[in-house]
Amino acid sequence: MTDLSTLLAENRYPGRGVLCARTLSGDVYGGYFLTGRSAASRDRTLLPQGDELVVAPAAATAHDALRHYVAAQQTADWLVFGNGEQVSTVADRLHAGASAADSLGDLAYEPDPPILTSRITALLSRRAPNAAVFGAARPSSGSRTSANVMTLTVKDLEPGEVVLLTTYRSDGVDVATAQPFAESVTRARTPEELLDELWTSLSEEYRIAAAVLDPAASPGAALLRSA
């Protein structure tokens, strides 16, 4: 498999990404990152707010539902993180007793034509630490307006294995919806090394912020890096 650094470096503008990684020491972590091209997109940062991690304005004060949202929160059983307001929707469904797969169903991609950004969400189990469920609501490549909704269950990652979802595949100019998911490997042994690998692999021109999250800890305690 391609290593994580190469996979990210080859995708110059991946948009936003979620991942589950098992480090070489055997521990499982989540990762989330933001990249952006426009001034409005780049005017964001990741901030802890209580037990949540939020994408908030870096300088502007006006709230934009597509750019500012709860990026990570937790339930008794799951760490939930993703690239939009669906994170709170999924967490509410889990709190109400929905299964992981059902909580990720019936979601929609972002109403941001012409790109139509996918909604990508990751659930990392807090009870079975080597299990994750990913969800994606992506636009069709045809004329349908309904979303293609995918769920992916991942179990028993070996040390060094990573599963990654991104919103885009792009050279920085042309933007296309990314492939459903990618598998890669990491050389990181610690969450700090994983964050460093993630951050340094993103294009300096587009990277905004990145986080590594521990399913056993509050999202508000995530390790963070920002431009």
Pick from 56-70, 145-159, 176-190: least confident:
56-70
Q: What integer pLDDT is reported at residue 67 of this predicted model?
A: 74
- CA–CA dist 150, 135 (Å, integer): 6
Kindly report whether the global pTM for this prediction surpasses the value 0.85.
yes
Pick from 63-72, 103-112, 117-126: least confident:
63-72
Pick from 22-31, 46-55, 61-70, 180-189: least confident:
61-70
Residue 160 neighbours by CB under 8 Å, 6+ apart = 22, 23, 24, 185, 186, 187
As a whole number, mean pLDDT of residues 177-203 equals 97
As a whole number, mean pLDDT of residues 113-137 equals 95
Task: Assess whether pLDDT exceeds 80 at residue 120.
Answer: yes
As a whole number, mean pLDDT of residues 138-155 equals 94
Q: What integer pLDDT is reported at residue 61 of this predicted model?
A: 67
Token match 């948009």: residue? 15
What class does CATH assign to 4-226?
alpha beta
In which band, very low, low, confident or very high, does the pLDDT at 189 lie, cut at 50, 70 and 90? very high
As a whole number, mean pLDDT of residues 149-166 equals 97
Neighbours of 72 (CB within 10 A): 28
Is residue 35 a contact partner of residue 208, using CB atoms and an 8 Å limit? yes
As a whole number, mean pLDDT of residues 163-184 equals 96
As a whole number, mean pLDDT of residues 87-104 equals 97
pLDDT in tens, 47-89: 999 999 999 988 866 667 667 899 999 999 999 999 999 999 9
As a whole number, mean pLDDT of residues 116-125 equals 97
- CA–CA dist 126, 92 (Å, integer): 16
3-class DSSP assignment, residue 5 = helix
Q: What integer pLDDT is reported at residue 29 of this predicted model?
A: 98
Q: What integer pLDDT is reported at residue 35 of this predicted model?
A: 97
Q: What integer pLDDT is reported at residue 59 of this predicted model?
A: 80
Q: What integer pLDDT is reported at residue 60 of this predicted model?
A: 66
As a whole number, mean pLDDT of residues 167-189 equals 96
- Torsion sign (Cα): 160, 166, 172, 175: positive
